[in-house]
Chains A and B, each alone.
Chain A
Amino acid sequence: MAKSIDVSDLDIYYGDFKAVEDVTMTIPARSVTAFIGPSGCGKSTLLRSLNRMHEVIPGARVEGKVVIGGQSLYDADVDPVEVRRQVGMVFQRPNPFPTMSIYGNVLAGNRLNSRRMKRSEADDIVERALRGANLWTEVKDRLTKPGAGLSGGQQQRLCIARAIAVEPQVLLMDEPCSALDPISTSAIEDLIHELKSEYTIVIVTHNMQQAARVSEDTAFFNLAGAGLPGRLVEMDSTKKIFSVPEDPSTEAYISGRFG
């Protein structure tokens, strides 16, 4: 069910401001692709355009093509709601629904499809998703407690469980560890390793060690200059990007000699 993503000639705008320019890339299925680059270079913007979350912001729009598993995301007859059910997303800060229990949070996406679920079926989904997110043993005795009562790292894994409970084809992660301590971060990274056998994962990160640890491929983004749109500098296997990058600015960035 994992699918690859083809982006071609993609420009992304906030109103009149062009934030990302002319991105063309192929993200392979069942692997982890990392987006790295300085702040404001459009990594998150590009990520959000892969499940049409970008257009939630008033005035935001895209030009170009994004194709996931043969389906073009921005065709006129494509419902963004359907796209988001196929492409899950995990945000920078953990955001479980504060009024819902752990159980309710995991099932939130499944309940949206407003299909009647048997109790046993729902229990199965919750257990499978929580096991998938390495959270089951920690919360199995308090599933009815509010999700907001968990620690930050646990909340983030709960959000991952919520995202994989609907069995998406792609999982987008927008700096999923930036609000977490090193131990929780390592738990999430382990999880990403396990999830890639089933999902196509795209992760935005500011932590270059993290990109090197978790990803198969890395895309480096940079600004063409102050006030100019961000663009894709190069994309290659993570090993190559972190050892012999082609572009000098990539090397400058990953070796910390940036700017």
Chain B
Amino acid sequence: MSAPTTAAWPTPPKKRRMGDLLFAGATRTAASIILVALAGVAIFLTVEGLPGLTAPPERMGGEATFLAYVWPLVFGTLLAAFIALLIATPLSIGVALVISHYSPRRLAKPIGYLVDLLAAVPSVVYGLWGIAFVGPALVPVYRWLEENLGFLPFFSGPASGTGRTILTAGIVLAIMALPIITAICREIFAQTPTLHQEAALALGATRFEMVRMAVIPYSKSGIVSAVMLGLGRALGETMAVALVLSATRIVTWDVIASTSPSTIAANIVLGFPEATGLGVNVLIATGLVLFVITFAVNFTARLIVARSEKGLVR
């Protein structure tokens, strides 16, 4: 554009459009509400939890310090979540690959819906399912594990007669974490550029080799994010674990014994109705610990993702 034309067309005065203003305001409000809510939870947990840290032993199940009280719960929480992810991650990736790359399109849609439906089942139902079906069904398996793999510390037994063990809880949690991990992995796998997939196929890759060569490397960071969201679900899940576990606050690697470590969330829901005074503060303090763990896990995951994404040009 030449100079005279510019002079002839001065820039019109800036007009604030009503729609833009409204939309910007609405989105900004939504974003700030999230921050306010998160800050509110953090402040509440800290203020209400601090007195619990120095509560007398009789309020903390006879433990002398808060650390001694919360450590078995932290252990149980992490163990249950770890078992859940150990099962859910490969299963979810497999299901997601079936949906995105293996099954014919007519079948992929319904399978996807069914998996999504798993997320809609209330957690208390999973708990009941765990007690009434999964637990009893696994009793013979636990017996077998004790007899044949009893030399491993995980299966040293004695095997639970009801099947209400931390392994059962982990399996139920795995089923609960499965839909979210699958849904995210599926989306990410479907986004793999056709160009890279065709590059692999044209070199004579089988479908599995194509997945290994083009799809998985491309999706690595997404898979980590998906697993972390699943972990979030497993860490915070309350009802299913509270129902399945007959909880004792112990630290043991034995995942098939009838006395198993409890989790923070389950301990809160089981203890809260009877708690009074400082006891409530103690429970809230454990909640603060869970909050910090979740935060730390998420932060670590982001760090891993950021590092693995370096050098990956998209």
Contacts and interface: CB of A to CB of B under 8 A. Distances in A.
Interface in B192-208: 193, 195-196, 198-206
Interface stretch (A93-101, A131-139, A203-211, A251-259): A93-101
Contact of A84 (B204, B218, B312): B204
B206 A81 contact: yes
Contacts of A86: 204
Interface size class of B (residues with CB under 8 A): 20 to 34
Given A97-B214, A108-B213, A146-B311, A91 B201 contact: no
Contacts, number: 72
B105 interface: yes
Interface in B172-211: 193, 195-196, 198-206, 209
Contact of A109 (B195, B204, B206): B204
Contacts of B193: 95
Nearest to B216: A99
Nearest to B197: A56
Contact of A51 (B202, B217, B313, B314): B202
Nearest to B214: A97
A166 interface: yes
Interface size class of A (residues with CB under 8 A): 20 to 34
Given A58-B105, A98-B196, A166 B204 contact: yes
Interface of A: 51, 53, 56, 58, 81-82, 84-86, 88-89, 91, 93, 95-100, 108-109, 112-113, 146, 148-149, 159, 162-163, 166
Given A84-B203, A95-B196, 19 more contacts: A53-B198, A81-B205, A84-B201, A91-B198, A95-B193, A95-B195, A97-B196, A97-B213, A97-B214, A98-B218, A98-B313, A99-B220, A100-B217, A109-B203, A109-B204, A112-B203, A112-B204, A146-B313, A149-B313
Interface of B: 105, 193, 195-196, 198-206, 209, 213-214, 217-218, 220, 311-314
13 contacts: A51-B202, A81-B206, A84-B202, A84-B205, A88-B203, A91-B198, A97-B213, A97-B214, A98-B313, A98-B314, A109-B203, A112-B209, A159-B199
